[in-house]
Amino acid sequence: MRIIFRNFHIIDAFTDMTGTVIIDGGRIVEVISKEETQRRAALEAGCGASRGLVFDGNEQLVLTSGFVDMHAHFREPAESSKLDDSNSLGFVKKETLESASLAAARGGYTSVVCMANTNPAIDNAAAASALKHRADALGLIRLYPAVSLSERMRGESLSPYLSEKSEGTSVYNPPLLSEDGKDIADDGLFAAAMREAAKRGALVSCHCDFGGEDAAVERAVRIGAGTGVRLHIAHISTKRTADIMSRQKKASAPLAPRTVQTLTAEATPHHIALTERDADKAGVETFGKVAPPLRGETDRLALIEALRDGVIDVIATDHAPHAPADKQGGAPGFSGLETAFAVCNTILVKKNDFSPQKLFSLLSATPARILGLSGRGFIAKGNYADIVILDTEKEIIVDSGKFASRGKNTLFNGWKLSGSVLLTLCDGKIVHHAAD
Ligand SMILES: [Zn+2]
């Protein structure tokens, strides 16, 4: 279907203009200036109306590229025994592929990498491919299931995906491999996994919880040196780790022979907005619990500066939905997809003077580039029509009771934030349209 977004404020990592975006057949077919829009309108007035569905914009309505999340937990597959949250009505309350995908669309996300710490763990191409096909059939977002580094995520042997001899001919090649909350304890196996990942062109994301965040980052870089790995550090949370990243990035550029191929990192919306005081209030061992934990104000501010300077490359949600009973029992994580944009717009743009272009680089263009998702992450003729319409000034009050995600746990409940996701299109199809 042909859709015309007329006179919107088009902002992405590379563009800042008022103009019109025309999409057709799931692709962006034209991006034209306000002046050209006017010229054509005058022509069309003489020879009949423009064809297609037209959305009229204004200066306050921002059109940007769909967000790209390098790190979310969709909780599928899950064994049936884990499905029920012993809700009194007997409803299944756990996150599903459907609820998480809808949460992503509502949050403005069109491409999402979901982690492999599922039950059973996604350690082979067939399982990842099956999940991807289900997501494709839903038609809400583009899902890229991560595959684990080790078999069953046990850290004892390479995952079936990495031990396949015929690399490159797999039914599915994940853009990212990860052991999620743990790294591989055995140095030799970790190095072998990185070497095999490099051969397959996949990024390796390290959560770096092994032996403390700072030590784990240095260890991952040391072990990855010379393997050809493209290493990505998940959810950096401390000033010390940001400082280590800064040093490591300088040391590894430009591609010194005994280091990793590329080194990138992410920060989460909750780590740039919240501190341990917020965790204390909610319960450090229950509803305020997250891995890595919320830190001090100095750390929070250091993360913001690291994002500004490019030491940290992207924002990733680490969307980690849990049922209330599981949170009460100490399961770590927050539901993040539906608040990420408003949190980042408020904290980075409104309170810390980031330009909107920088924000959209962190949310879309840079993660798309790191993952190697060609044709996604920015607005350009020929790219996939992954489009978000935002009201960046609109105030919202967070109410997780209204989340599409079944994970209702967020410390932002009741917060007043700036920024609303009005419309999301993935591959040219409308997948979210705000009710009001
Ligand atoms: Zn995670």
**Distance from residue 290's CA to the centre of ligand 1 (Å):** 10
276: pLDDT strictly greater than 80:
yes
86: pLDDT strictly greater than 60:
no
424 located within any domain: no
Instruction: Provide the pairing of β-strand 3-11 with 61-65.
Output: parallel
**Band of the pLDDT at 169, cuts 50, 70, 90?**
low
83 located within any domain: yes
**Distance from residue 5's CA to the centre of ligand 1 (Å):** 36
Query: Can you tell me the mean pLDDT for 271-297?
Result: 96
219 located within any domain: yes
For the chain, the residue count is: 436
Residue ranges making up the domain that contains 351: 66-378
Active site residue 318: yes
pLDDT confidence of residue 257: 52
**Band of the pLDDT at 252, cuts 50, 70, 90?**
low
d(CA 317, CA 337): 6
**Distance from residue 344's CA to the centre of ligand 1 (Å):** 19
148: pLDDT strictly greater than 60:
yes
224 half-sphere exposure, CB direction, 13 A CA radius: 30
**Band of the pLDDT at 44, cuts 50, 70, 90?**
confident
Query: Can you tell me the mean pLDDT for 179-201?
Result: 92
Angle (CA) 418-387-342 rounded to 5° is: 15
**Distance from residue 180's CA to the centre of ligand 1 (Å):** 6
**Distance from residue 406's CA to the centre of ligand 1 (Å):** 17
Number of neighbouring beta carbons within 10 Å of residue 197: 29
383 located within any domain: no
Query: Can you tell me the mean pLDDT for 342-368?
Result: 98
Residue 383 near residue 66, CB atoms below 8 Å = no
pLDDT confidence of residue 261: 84
SS3 of residue 65 by DSSP: strand
Query: Can you tell me the mean pLDDT for 330-354?
Result: 97
Q: The pTM is what?
A: 0.95
**Distance from residue 159's CA to the centre of ligand 1 (Å):** 19
**Distance from residue 24's CA to the centre of ligand 1 (Å):** 36
Cis peptide bond upstream of 321, omega within 30: no
Count of domains observed in the chain: 1
344 located within any domain: yes
83: pLDDT strictly greater than 50:
no
Closest to 269 in 3D by CA, of 226, 311, 319, 313:
319
90: pLDDT strictly greater than 50:
no
| % of the chain surpassing 70 pLDDT | 92
388 located within any domain: no
- Which tokens belong to 206? 């390290």
**Distance from residue 318's CA to the centre of ligand 1 (Å):** 5
Inter-axis angle of helices 239-252 and 297-309, nearest 10? 30
d(CA 93, CA 78): 13
Residue 97: C-alpha distances to residues 29, 73, 134, 174, 404 (Å): 31, 10, 8, 18, 11
- Which tokens belong to 307? 């994002």
339: pLDDT strictly greater than 50:
yes
pLDDT confidence of residue 49: 56
**Distance from residue 176's CA to the centre of ligand 1 (Å):** 13
pLDDT confidence of residue 352: 98
Catalytically annotated residue among 299, 318, 386, 427? 318
pLDDT tens digits, one per residue of 390-427? 999 999 999 999 999 999 999 999 999 999 999 999 99
**Band of the pLDDT at 207, cuts 50, 70, 90?**
confident
36: pLDDT strictly greater than 50:
yes
- Which tokens belong to 250? 């300088």
**Distance from residue 71's CA to the centre of ligand 1 (Å):** 6
d(CA 361, CA 65): 10
24 located within any domain: no
pLDDT confidence of residue 46: 64
**Distance from residue 201's CA to the centre of ligand 1 (Å):** 22
53 located within any domain: no
SS3 of residue 305 by DSSP: helix
Q: Where residue 137 sits, what CATH number does that domain have?
A: 3.20.20.140
**Distance from residue 250's CA to the centre of ligand 1 (Å):** 27
**Band of the pLDDT at 181, cuts 50, 70, 90?**
confident
**Distance from residue 52's CA to the centre of ligand 1 (Å):** 41
171: pLDDT strictly greater than 70:
yes
Q: Which residues surround ligand 1, an ion (CB under 5 A)?
A: 318
